[in-house]
Structure 1
């Protein structure tokens, strides 16, 4: 009995040592994963503020908290375990899931680029062509939160898939801890920064009050004046990040694209900043091209299934 108990304790001790050793690698794996999903994180951060535009300023932080909470639940409860199960039962599918997500990012990025260059073609008419639906502020808030969560779900799925791909060869304990840590860290980082962006105007206006030192007031006024331009730039950066990350994911899964990029990066290795910039520009342009092709295919397919318009009765 005593011998069996000692043997069991030895096994438990060995398991704890192995787990502890694997957990020592968690910070490195989290850092590696975070760097790989940085483009998606930038895009998520750039996209989210638009969902609170036009709503009650007093409700902004509450709305962001709702989105963040659902984002964390999706990552930690649904997407993380789904990545683990898929990696265990069908690991060969992971690269294709990533590439599908990359294609979606390119498509979304192209749509944003297209909308930037065709705003004049979609200016609203002076009078609505049909009766507008009237909704309450509560319904509008609910609709905005739902839309934000749907967009975040797709980006979160890509984040968790990349996170799993990074730790696929690690012990199960490390995989679970890294995925959970990434889910919590990225959610807090993204929505904490989004909250700061959304309330920056209020912070600036508060700092600009007469009761503060002239330097503080000047900084506050500068914050208020610069926020519109900052949000515009952030939107451009988010779009570029979406395109280059999507294209890089696809290129990584296709050797005939991945190898030339590696060769180019190696050729410019003497100037790392230039190598990175050239690679990003090539990937972003490739993302636009791929997004354009996908958009045309989607338009063609949707046109095939579109119901013919009913003839008006005179």
Structure 2
């Protein structure tokens, strides 16, 4: 009898772990866009710090990120337990914010003053070279800004994960949220540390190489890494922005029944074509979610701009 009870317990544990693994994979897919943006933003935040201080700054931000998760995960679980109906509205709000941020990035890219940005970048480099500038204070400001950004992005990620596991037992919700929070934090900041050190490793290879066949290979690898680093940053930014519309639009479309019905019906209509139906259906679903995301982002941006104009008048 005790042996049978032990086997039953082990089977239950294996089932829970299996559920956690499956739900974690689903949550990882749904949060891919936010994670891409998180990577690009954090790597960008660390830029402008002296090379020998990059990893300490990344570690300081990572510790702040863990603290953010310690606040956000219990808060999300409390909401799920006591007011589960609120999760859907939080998901829609998070999706809307993602779309708004995506539109803001696009508009900034096309309307930003390139000369002013180059001037600001030059001033930053001059400040780093100036011995009278307090680099410790500069680091503190960067760390605070990065931790605040992480808090917003972490909140979005946790809300999306919570929406994925909302229908599951509370113990499974705790396991998935805790596991994914740890994995995402370690993964994001480990990858950020790798990104910010790619160009340094490239320079190291160039300086180490002198002559000979192997040294030629080192120089080639060093140059390749130096070229690859900015390309990787730009790619992460582009993929992250595109994924914002896809993930945010998908969340909004799923949370609003009328939109969800339109998307599902459109997928069903195009999926009837033989051999290519599934592919066309998938592409249609992605395109419609992206369109919903762009339109929602534009609407949110217009409301934000109008609100900025109206609120000072009311407060006057």
Distance 1:165 1:200 in 2: 36
Deviation at 1:69, TM superposition (A): 1.7
Partner of residue 116, structure 2:
123
Deviation at 1:110, TM superposition (A): 0.8
8 Å contact kept, 1:55–1:141: yes
SS state at 1:170 partner = coil
Deviation at 1:245, TM superposition (A): 1.3
Distance 1:214 1:97 in 2: 55
Partner of residue 124, structure 2:
none
Distance 2:105 2:115 in 1: 14
Match of 1:143 among 135, 141, 144: 141
8 Å contact kept, 1:22–1:171: no
The CA RMSD over aligned residues, in Å, is 3.2
Q: Given the superposition, is the C-alpha separation of residues 247 and 12 from structure 1 closer, same or farther in structure 2, using an over 3 Å criterion?
A: same
Deviation at 1:14, TM superposition (A): 7.1
Partner of residue 292, structure 1:
298
Please list, as runs of the form range in 1=range in 2, the aligned pairs for 1:1-314 lying within 5 A after superposition.
18-19=12-13, 21-75=15-69, 77-120=70-113, 123=116, 136-208=134-206, 209-210=208-209, 212-269=214-271, 270=276, 275-306=281-312
8 Å contact kept, 2:100–2:300: yes
Q: Given the superposition, is the C-alpha separation of residues 122 and 88 from structure 1 closer, same or farther in structure 2, using an over 3 Å criterion?
A: farther
Instruction: Give the alignment's TM-score, normalised by structure 1.
Output: 0.83
Q: Given the superposition, is the C-alpha separation of residues 196 and 274 from structure 1 closer, same or farther in structure 2, using an over 3 Å criterion?
A: farther
Distance 1:229 1:19 in 2: 44
8 Å contact kept, 1:19–1:173: no
Partner of residue 3, structure 1:
none
Distance 2:90 2:231 in 1: 36
Q: Given the superposition, is the C-alpha separation of residues 89 and 126 from structure 1 closer, same or farther in structure 2, using an over 3 Å criterion?
A: closer
Instruction: Give the alignment's TM-score, normalised by structure 2.
Output: 0.82
* Range 217-226 or range 102-111, more displaced: 217-226
8 Å contact kept, 2:51–2:200: no
8 Å contact kept, 2:267–2:285: yes
Distance 2:166 2:100 in 1: 28
Distance 1:66 1:126 in 2: 29
SS state at 2:227 partner = helix
Unpaired runs of at least 5, structure 2: 121-126
Deviation at 1:80, TM superposition (A): 1.3
Unpaired runs of at least 5, structure 1: 1-5, 128-132
Higher helix share goes to which structure? 2
Deviation at 1:156, TM superposition (A): 1.0
* Range 135-144 or range 194-203, more displaced: 135-144
Tell me how many residue pairs correspond in the alignment. Answer: 298
Q: Given the superposition, is the C-alpha separation of residues 115 and 171 from structure 1 closer, same or farther in structure 2, using an over 3 Å criterion?
A: same
Q: Given the superposition, is the C-alpha separation of residues 176 and 224 from structure 1 closer, same or farther in structure 2, using an over 3 Å criterion?
A: same
